């Protein structure tokens, strides 16, 4: 409401459609993180995974259908490897999730720079499939929007109705309790990192299709938005609590904040400060509600 | 009998692993690159130590109580910029105000973490995020300055020891003394070892925690000042790798993430080893992003070894 008074562009259909489309990457990242948070973990490496997969799809720029499927398999394979690496060390060997993913973020980021040789990668002529995913619309709705909404719906179903998600939540709230009730803590926690990395890879594919070029220096750009979206939406950062609807409300909130700050013309530095403050307030609020449970 | 003495030798060797590794690395680099082993190399290597080194002093103390400060990179960048921007009012004032700003940020971290009981990692990530925005308020790019006394201090040496390195060594010894010989040190290790029992024995854990984050902010801003003094520039992008490099060095030195163990001389050796590695790789013309990857690999490897050792100790 406030935003629509300040900026006349805000309440147009065009703007809503753009906001929704641009939410794709942060939505997929935040959904992935929801699984990790639910299992009591943390992941700082997903931004790097996203950029790696975006760089891969842009630089390969597959043309035929078969070639495209092959590229997808390759990218998901790489993402799977990153997630399995994180998850194996954190889940099976019980290492600190912050430090492991901080390290793997550097390693994955390094791969991006090596692959791109430090330069901006771009596809000279975008292949038709990439163009279809990145730019086309079906019945007026951008393909990217359809894809991320479908992923969100599937994840919502998984987290709300499957026993798998309940098991993760038990692990996230107390590893001891989960052990005593016979859950395979190690593999459950590892699986959350794999899901997360696959979704980050997926987000990278969408971004790559949309922009058709990728600067490796953007590696650090995606790190915090997804964490902030989860925290704002009410996903407990200490594990065990949260739904996809929480995540999506956080994503929408952050998306509209981002969009309106750009429309009003808030400088980038103030956007950073504001988003940092939002994150800080959200985690303090998370801690206060946790205290009131206890 | 014989097995035992072998094991003891191995354990002794493990205790001295960092000095041994430093010597080995030096030999390897000298063999590969003939002009590596010289007083000049030692001098330039020493010149690289202090900025990350003083940051590591604060981070080590925070790690001894089992927490982490990921905002040090943001503090380092911000205080360097602040100092450069404030130089017109006088070098001493500029330095003091930048250090005070670092301590203030540490105070905010400490209050949020220990008064509001929020996880230190997430808090300092968020604060670091805010700081990167604040740094951009001061400048959008690299700023230069001319202030001879300051750049002299940042670059001149006494024989092979740069002034800043002497300051760093001095501070390390001072903090080491405090850790090992003062009541403050005893309390610090007690809090790191068992928070609950130390609070029952009358230690004010909250105040201790806040104080440590203030110190960490202070040392991080000193790191920023030293770095700006050496390079005669400051940039809002400077601290992006500081946290990961410093934490890797501290872990490399042997301080553990669990808390209750470690000291700053260990961290000095860790910083020395890591800088030696970086310097050698640079001399061999290995690109910077490979070096970042190597740091990442070492970090994860150390974490893995550390947790295996902790497991063995428990059993």
Give the DSSP letter string of A60-105: H---SHHHHHHHHHHHHHHHHHHHHHHHIIIIIS---HHHHHHHHH
Instruction: Verify whether the Cβ–Cβ distance A275 to B119 is below 8 Å.
Output: no
Q: Does A232 touch chain B (CB under 8 A)?
A: no
Tell me the pLDDT tens digit for each residue of A135-192. 777 777 888 888 999 999 999 999 999 999 999 999 888 888 888 888 888 999 999 9
**Nearest Cα residue to B295 out of A68, A220, A99:** A99
Instruction: Verify whether the Cβ–Cβ distance B119 to A118 is below 8 Å.
Output: no
Q: Does A94 touch chain B (CB under 8 A)?
A: yes
Domain ranges for chain B, please list them: 43-239+256-262
Residues of B whose CB is below 8 A from A106: 244, 292-293, 295-296, 299
Angstrom distance (rounded) from CA A34 to CA A40: 10
Angstrom distance (rounded) from CA A215 to CA A213: 7
Q: What would be the CATH architecture of the domain defined by A2-293?
A: Orthogonal Bundle (1.10)
Contact between A231 and A250 (Cβ < 8 Å): yes
Q: Using 50, 70 and 90 to split pLDDT, how confident is the model at A294?
A: very low
Contact between A147 and A235 (Cβ < 8 Å): no
Angstrom distance (rounded) from CA B257 to CA B306: 9
Distance from CA of A156 to the nearest CA of B (A): 26
Angstrom distance (rounded) from CA A198 to CA B266: 39
User: How many pairs of residues across A and B have Cβ atoms under 8 Å apart?
Assistant: 123
Length of chain A: 294
More confident residue, A194 or B159: A194
Phi, psi angles (nearest 5°) of residue A24: -50, -55
Over pLDDT 90: what percentage of chain A?
Answer: 29
pLDDT value of residue A221: 66
Instruction: Verify whether the Cβ–Cβ distance B119 to A114 is below 8 Å.
Output: no
Residues of A whose CB is below 8 A from B116: 284, 287-288
Residues of B whose CB is below 8 A from A98: 68, 70, 121
How do the residues of chain A divide into helix, strand and coil, expressed in percent and rounded to 5?
75, 5, 20
The sign of the dihedral angle between the CA atoms of A36, A41, A42, A46 is negative
Share the mean pLDDT of chain A. Answer: 84
Of B129, B132, B289, nearest to A279 by CB-CB distance is B129
CA atoms within 13 A on the CB side of B220: 37
**Which of B203-238 are b and which e, b meaning 16 or more Cβ less than 10 Å from the residue's Cβ?**
bebeebbbbbbbbbbbbbbbbbbbbbbbbbbbbbeb
Distance from CA of A168 to the nearest CA of B (A): 21
Instruction: Verify whether the Cβ–Cβ distance A272 to B304 is below 8 Å.
Output: no
What's the complex ipTM? 0.79
Angstrom distance (rounded) from CA A138 to CA A143: 6
Contact between B146 and B229 (Cβ < 8 Å): no
Contact between A47 and A106 (Cβ < 8 Å): no
Q: For chain B, where are the E strands, in sequence order? A: 143-144, 157-158, 161-162, 233-234
Angstrom distance (rounded) from CA B189 to CA B187: 6
Domain ranges for chain A, please list them: 2-293
**A139 — alpha (psi -120 to 50), left (phi > 0) or beta?**
left
Distance from CA of A106 to the nearest CA of B (A): 5
pLDDT value of residue B174: 97
Q: Of the ranges A4-18, B114-128, B264-278, which one carries the lowest mean pLDDT score?
A: A4-18
**Position B90 pLDDT exceeds 80:** yes
Of B129, B140, B303, nearest to A96 by CB-CB distance is B303
Share the mean pLDDT of chain B. Answer: 89
**Position A31 pLDDT exceeds 60:** yes
Angstrom distance (rounded) from CA B285 to CA B308: 34
Residues of B whose CB is below 8 A from A113: 287, 289
Contact between B205 and B191 (Cβ < 8 Å): yes
Q: Of the ranges A47-56, A269-278, B50-59, which one carries the lowest mean pLDDT score?
A: A269-278
Instruction: Verify whether the Cβ–Cβ distance A284 to B129 is below 8 Å.
Output: no
């Amino acid at each position: 409401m406030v935003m629509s008074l300040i900026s006349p562009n805000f309440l147009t259909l065009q703007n809503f459609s753009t906001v929704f489309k641009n939410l794709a990457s942060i939505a997929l990242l935040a959904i992935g993180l929801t699984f990790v948070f639910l299992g009591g973990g943390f992941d700082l490496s997903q931004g790097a995974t996203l950029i790696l997969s975006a760089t891969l799809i842009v630089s390969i720029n597959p043309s035929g259908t078969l070639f495209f499927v092959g590229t997808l398999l390759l990218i998901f394979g790489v993402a799977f490897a990153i997630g399995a690496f994180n998850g194996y060390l954190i889940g099976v060997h019980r290492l600190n999730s912050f430090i492991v993913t901080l390290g793997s973020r550097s390693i994955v980021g390094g791969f991006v720079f090596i692959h791109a040789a430090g330069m901006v990668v771009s596809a000279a002529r975008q292949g038709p499939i990439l163009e279809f995913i990145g730019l086309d619309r079906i019945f007026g709705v951008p393909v990217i929007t359809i894809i991320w909404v479908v992923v969100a719906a599937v994840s919502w179903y998984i987290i709300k109705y499957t026993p798998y998600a309940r098991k993760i939540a038990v692990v996230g709230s107390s590893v001891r309790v989960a052990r005593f009730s016979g859950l395979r803590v190690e593999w459950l926690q590892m699986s959350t990192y794999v899901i997360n990395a696959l979704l980050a890879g997926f987000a990278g594919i969408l971004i790559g299709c949309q922009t058709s070029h990728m600067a490796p220096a953007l590696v650090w750009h995606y790190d915090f938005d997804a964490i902030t979206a989860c925290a704002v939406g009410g996903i407990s950062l200490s594990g065990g609590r949260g739904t996809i609807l929480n995540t999506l409300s956080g994503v929408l909130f952050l998306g509209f904040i981002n969009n309106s700050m750009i429309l009003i013309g808030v400088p980038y530095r103030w956007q950073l400060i504001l988003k940092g403050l939002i994150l800080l307030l959200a985690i303090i609020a998370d801690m206060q509600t946790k205290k009131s449970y206890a | 009998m014989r097995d035992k003495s072998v094991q003891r030798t191995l354990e002794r060797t493990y205790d001295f692993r960092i000095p041994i590794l430093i010597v080995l690395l030096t030999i390897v680099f000298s063999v590969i690159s003939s002009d590596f082993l010289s007083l000049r190399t030692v001098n330039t290597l020493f010149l690289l130590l202090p900025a990350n080194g003083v940051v590591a002093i604060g981070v080590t103390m925070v790690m001894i109580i089992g927490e982490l400060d990921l905002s040090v990179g943001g503090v380092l960048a911000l205080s360097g910029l602040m100092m450069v921007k404030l130089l017109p009012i006088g070098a001493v004032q500029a330095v003091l105000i930048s250090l005070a700003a670092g301590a203030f940020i540490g105070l905010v971290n400490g209050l949020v973490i220990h008064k509001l009981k929020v996880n230190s990692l997430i808090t300092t990530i968020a604060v670091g995020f805010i700081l990167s925005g604040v740094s951009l308020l001061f400048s959008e790019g690299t700023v230069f300055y001319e202030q001879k006394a300051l750049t002299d201090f940042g670059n001149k040496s006494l024989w092979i020891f740069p002034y800043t390195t002497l300051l760093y060594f001095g501070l390390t010894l001072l903090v080491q003394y405090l850790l090992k010989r003062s009541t403050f040190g005893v309390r610090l290790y007690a809090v790191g070892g068992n928070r609950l029992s130390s609070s029952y024995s009358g230690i004010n854990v909250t105040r201790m925690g806040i104080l440590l984050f203030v110190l960490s902010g202070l040392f991080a801003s000193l790191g920023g000042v030293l770095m700006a003094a050496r390079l005669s520039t400051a940039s809002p992008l400077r601290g992006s790798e500081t946290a990961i490099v410093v934490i890797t060095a501290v872990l490399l030195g042997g301080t553990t993430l669990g808390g209750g163990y470690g000291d700053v001389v260990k961290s000095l050796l860790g910083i020395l080893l890591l800088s030696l590695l970086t310097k050698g790789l640079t001399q061999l013309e290995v690109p910077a992003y490979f070096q970042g990857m190597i740091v990442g690999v070492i970090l994860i490897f150390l974490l893995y070894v550390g947790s295996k050792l902790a497991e063995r100790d428990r059993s």
